[in-house]
Chains A and B, each alone.
Chain A
Amino acid sequence: MPASLPVLTLLLTPVLALLGLGLLIGAVLGFVASKFRLESDPVVERINDLLPQTQCGQCGYPGCKPYAEAIAAGDAINKCPPGGETTIMQLANLLNIPALPLDESYGQPEIKKVAFIREAECIGCAKCIPACPVDAILGAPRFMHTVIESECTGCDLCIEPCPVDCIDLVPVQTHALPVRSVEELNTEETLACINCGLCVEQCPVDILPHELYWACRGKDLASAESLKLMHCIECGKCDRVCPSSIPLVEYYQATMQAFNTQQNDRTQADKAKQRFELHLQRMEKIKREEEQRRQKRAELAKKGAQSQTRDTILAALERVKSKRKPN
């Protein structure tokens, strides 16, 4: 027995020491975990902010927010045809995952369109009004409807409910200058940029043209903006001195256009998001009111039926009494 005691302590001390350490650490971690409990997932909001907010449902989810939730839970980022390549790139950038080409089984990327009602044919059935996710259709029953063009997202959800097929999707008129895209410019055979810096000396607005060229070439809009893309006055001095004859200004023009389109789409999407939320609220309110009205009517009908039967009984009794009286 005395011989086994040191062995026991030799074994027990480290075990107890580690156990104590583990217990202490567990307590601290438990405290921290309860202190920093997570309520909601703000990542969903960030993803939702990047989606185009057309609420078209082409991704297979009923709107942009549910798709944002699905992405946060691990769904693929390439199911949004209206957003197209730009949205996929932004999502990939936000979530730090590789960008995928658009999955075309969910639809083709299309040029931006808006709905247009052929007003001569509209019968004023008002079926398209609740279908519009952003409340962009104006009208009332038995009156002609029309689409507010600046609010329409071109989601095509109004086409299907129309009984007389008087709604068309027409391409939006753009007044952008015809500029070659960055992809086209990238395929052009030029010598590589050697960072010689000749363009830097020429630039009258102190841009670093060669750095900006790399950002434009890689379609890195954020970097291009921070490299003062918008300061470029397109004077073409850098073009003329470039020993590799790179079409620098064309690159800047294409990127500026992409940048402006992105900004416009962003404001449009924010507006659409707001309108979609209001639309949901409105639909909810209509449903609630309808429900209340139905209940009231049912109650009234019940009460009415009761009072009617009582009246008939009373009338019958009256009649019987009056008949008996003469006797």
Chain B
Amino acid sequence: MTDIILILVGAILVNNFVLTQFLGLCPFMGVSGKVETAVGMSAATLFVLTLASACSYLVFQYLLVPLGLEYLKTISFIIVIAAVVSMTEIIMHKTSPLLYRILGIFLPLITSNCAVLGVALLNVNQSNTFAHSVFYGFGAGLGFSLVLILFSAMREKLTLCDIPEPFQGAAIAMITAGLMSLAFMGFSGMV
């Protein structure tokens, strides 16, 4: 039980995928304009991350290792992730068409979200057990959601503020992200 809590705290705060490991920056910048959208994206990514880390563990342990094909792990993980993303897409198109529309290209782009592949590969590298892999993925998703939602809430406030012209748009977003990253450095060495 303690190890699972440690994994979760480690993935969410200490080694946050976005702010400390700099993975998954594309949706972090791209869909953080509105809190509502960010929550949708977070939910989708959380779902994909958890499911993808479980599936890629199974594929690695029960398909690649017995056949001695460990060197195929990257390509097969990409296939697994792409499948999970397509599945999420189909389900979301049915259950929440508006969110599907708003997320647009960023939804299929979860496939190329490096946090997702990163978690799958890190799981193999750290030779985690099945439960640990799933919780590592879940924690990474929670960490991603946390910073994405915080960041989008800040950007929503920023749109109403008097920002000097050269800093408007992406520039102030980058600065904000940098400051958030600095704040998250405070967690380092906790686990």
Residues of chain A touching chain B, judged by Cβ–Cβ distance below 8 Å, are 13-14, 17-18, 20-22, 25, 28-29, 32-33, 36-38, 41-43, 46, 94-96, 192, 214-215, 217-218, 220
The answer on a CB contact under 8 Å between A13 and B67 is yes
The answer on a CB contact under 8 Å between A17 and B63 is yes
Chain A residue at minimum C-beta to C-beta distance from B100:
A43
Known contacts A17-B69, A21-B63, A21-B76; is-contact A217 B160 (Cβ 8 Å): yes
Within 8 Å by CB of A41, from B83, B97, B159, lies B97
- Give A42 to B100 CA distance when docked, in angstroms: 12
Beta-carbon contacts under 8 Å, B71-115 to A: 72, 75-76, 79-80, 83, 86-87, 90-91, 93-95, 97-98, 101-102
The answer on a CB contact under 8 Å between B33 and A96 is yes
The answer on a CB contact under 8 Å between B101 and A95 is yes
Residues of chain B touching chain A, judged by Cβ–Cβ distance below 8 Å, are 33-34, 37, 59, 63-64, 67-69, 72, 75-76, 79-80, 83, 86-87, 90-91, 93-95, 97-98, 101-102, 157, 159-162
The answer on a CB contact under 8 Å between A95 and B102 is yes
Q: In the complex, given contacts A18-B76, A214-B160, what are 16 additional A-B residue pairs having Cβ atoms less than 8 angstroms apart?
A: A14-B67, A17-B72, A20-B63, A28-B87, A29-B83, A32-B87, A36-B91, A37-B94, A38-B94, A42-B97, A42-B98, A43-B98, A96-B33, A96-B37, A192-B162, A214-B157
**Which A residues are CB-close (under 8 A) to B63?**
17, 20-21
- Give A37 to B95 CA distance when docked, in angstroms: 10
Chain A residue at minimum C-beta to C-beta distance from B59:
A21
Known contacts A214-B161, A215-B160; is-contact A14 B72 (Cβ 8 Å): yes
- Give A20 to B87 CA distance when docked, in angstroms: 18
- Give A28 to B162 CA distance when docked, in angstroms: 51
- Give A242 to B142 CA distance when docked, in angstroms: 41
Chain A residue at minimum C-beta to C-beta distance from B160:
A218
- Give A152 to B157 CA distance when docked, in angstroms: 40
- Give A28 to B102 CA distance when docked, in angstroms: 26
The answer on a CB contact under 8 Å between A94 and B94 is no
Chain B residue at minimum C-beta to C-beta distance from A42:
B97
Closest CB of chain B to A18's CB: distance in Å? Answer: 7
Chain B residue at minimum C-beta to C-beta distance from A217:
B160
**Which A residues are CB-close (under 8 A) to B80?**
21, 25
The answer on a CB contact under 8 Å between B97 and A96 is no
The answer on a CB contact under 8 Å between A25 and B67 is no
Within 8 Å by CB of B79, from A25, A96, A192, A215, lies A25
The answer on a CB contact under 8 Å between B69 and A32 is no
**Which B residues are CB-close (under 8 A) to A94?**
98
Known contacts A22-B79, A25-B79, A38-B94; is-contact A220 B160 (Cβ 8 Å): yes
The answer on a CB contact under 8 Å between B83 and A36 is no
- Give A33 to B37 CA distance when docked, in angstroms: 24
Closest CB of chain A to B76's CB: distance in Å? Answer: 6
Return 21 A-B CB contacts under 8 Å, by A number: A14-B72, A17-B64, A17-B67, A17-B69, A18-B72, A18-B75, A20-B63, A21-B76, A25-B83, A28-B87, A36-B91, A36-B94, A36-B95, A37-B94, A43-B98, A46-B98, A94-B98, A95-B101, A96-B33, A214-B157, A218-B160
